Amino acid sequence: MSAENVETVRRLVEAIDDRDLDALLAELHPDAELQTMRAQLEGTAYRGHEGTRQMLADFERDWEYVRIDAEEFLDAGEAVVVLGRLQTRGRTSRVNLDVPMGILWRLRDGKAVHGKTFSERADAPRAAGLE
């Protein structure tokens, strides 16, 4: 099942990069919880399909683009770790960001049920039990 999980996460990353809501929702469990860096700073998370819609709306409001430059996909069984870089530009500030990041995706029945972004790349594999 884990090879399929890696492919699911590849499609998730593409959907986020493309801001393709339909493609994103197709890979997410209806009760999924997404913890972006910003949500974590605010002490919250995006929950369910409605939360995912809000996440993309927040991206649209705040950023000219959001791109996950995925360099590695690490198979952790029922989880997949994405290591790469977050690239974005502030819509108002016009400040470019290009920072290392990791994302831990947990999957169940072929759908992502939890995604958490880490600003320290090494924290994502550690959270998945890979280190």
Written as one string, the DSSP assignment of 89-121 is: EETTT--EEEEEEEEEEEEETTEEEEEEEESST
pTM of the model: 0.91
pLDDT at 42: 87
* Residue 40: predicted pLDDT: 84
pLDDT at residue number 131: 75
Q: Which residue has the tokens 């819609």?
A: 53
Query: What is the predicted pLDDT for the residue at 1?
Result: 46
Q: Distance between CA atoms of 131 and 127, rounded to whole angstroms?
A: 8
pLDDT of residue 64: 92
Work out the burial of residue 46: count CB atoms within 10 Å of its CB; fewer than 13 is exposed, 13-18 middle, 19 or more buried.
buried
> In Å, how far from its chain's centre is CA 110?
16
Residues of the chain with pLDDT below 50 are 1
